[in-house]
Amino acid sequence: MLTETIFSPIWWISVVFVGLLVSLSASYLKESLDNALAKVSAHRREKNAQRKQEFDQTVERLKSDRSEFAEYVLLTNDLSHRFLTASFAAIFIVGGVNLLLLSFGEETLDGIAKAAFLSGMALLSVCMVSAYSDIEKIGERRKVIDHVSRS
């Protein structure tokens, strides 16, 4: 079947036709793609410059006010603990749901198993969203604390 298709003139004509279409499309789309990527790059540069400026302002503010720095450290530790708690809760929920499913016999797994699994997955997704929404904040706050502590 494959050898018949490869040696068919229709296949070769379609390959050449598709190749020409791809080449022609690429030549028309190249400029548009270049412009779009340039805009994305410029927006990213602006965003990075804004983040750097905010970082520097936060560091300077915390250097000048030690009580605010102490509060900043406490809030960062609170975020870290919240992240760990949510992560462990997610692990325990998945483990608990699996144990619950294993504890029932196979004959009763229909309705109860589906309900337990879906509720466990819903709780898991809430815990994971809660946990991972704080990761970026924790990382940025740790960098600020390191910067202020060094000076």
pLDDT digits (tens, 9 = 90+) for 35-87: 999 999 999 999 999 999 999 999 999 999 989 999 999 988 888 888 888 77
Tens-place pLDDT, residues 107-142: 556 676 677 777 777 777 777 777 677 777 888 888
Instruction: Say whether both 85 and 97 belong to one domain.
Output: yes
Shared-domain flag, residues 76 and 89: yes
Report the C-alpha dihedral over residues 92, 102, 123, 115, rounded to 10 degrees.
-170
6 located within any domain: no
* 147 part of a folded domain: yes
Q: Is residue 9 part of a domain?
A: no
Q: Are residues 43 and 71 in the same domain?
A: no
Tell whether 45 and 97 lie within a shared domain: no
Residue 24 has pLDDT above 70, yes or no: yes
Q: Based on the domain organization, do 46 and 88 belong to the same domain?
A: no
Q: Name the token pair of 29.
A: 């789309």
Mark whether 87 and 133 lie in a shared domain: yes
Residue at 10 is within a domain: no
CA angle 88, 89, 94 (to 5 degrees): 100
* Same domain membership, residue 50 and residue 79: no
Domain identity same for 84 and 31: no
CB contact burial 24-41 (16+ within 10 A = b; e otherwise): eeeeeeeeeeeeeeeeee
Please tell me the distance from the alpha carbon of residue 88 to that of residue 71, in angstroms, as a whole number.
26
Considering the domain architecture, whether residues 71 and 50 belong to the same structural domain is answered as no
Question: For the segment 99-112, what is each residue's pLDDT rounded down to a tens digit?
Answer: 766 666 555 566 76
Same domain, 60 and 43: yes
Let me know whether 109 and 133 are in one domain. yes
Tell me how far apart the alpha carbons of residues 53 and 71 are, in angstroms, rounded to a whole number.
21
Per the structure, how many domains does the chain have?
2
Question: What pLDDT score was predicted for residue 149?
Answer: 87
Residue holding tokens 């949510």? 86
Q: Count Cα neighbours of 149 within 13 Å in the Cβ-side half-sphere.
A: 9
CA quadruple 85, 88, 94, 99: dihedral, nearest 10: -120
pLDDT of residue 105: 59
Whether residue 148 is contained in a domain is answered as: yes
- Domain coverage including residue 39: 23-64
Tokens of 1: 């079947």
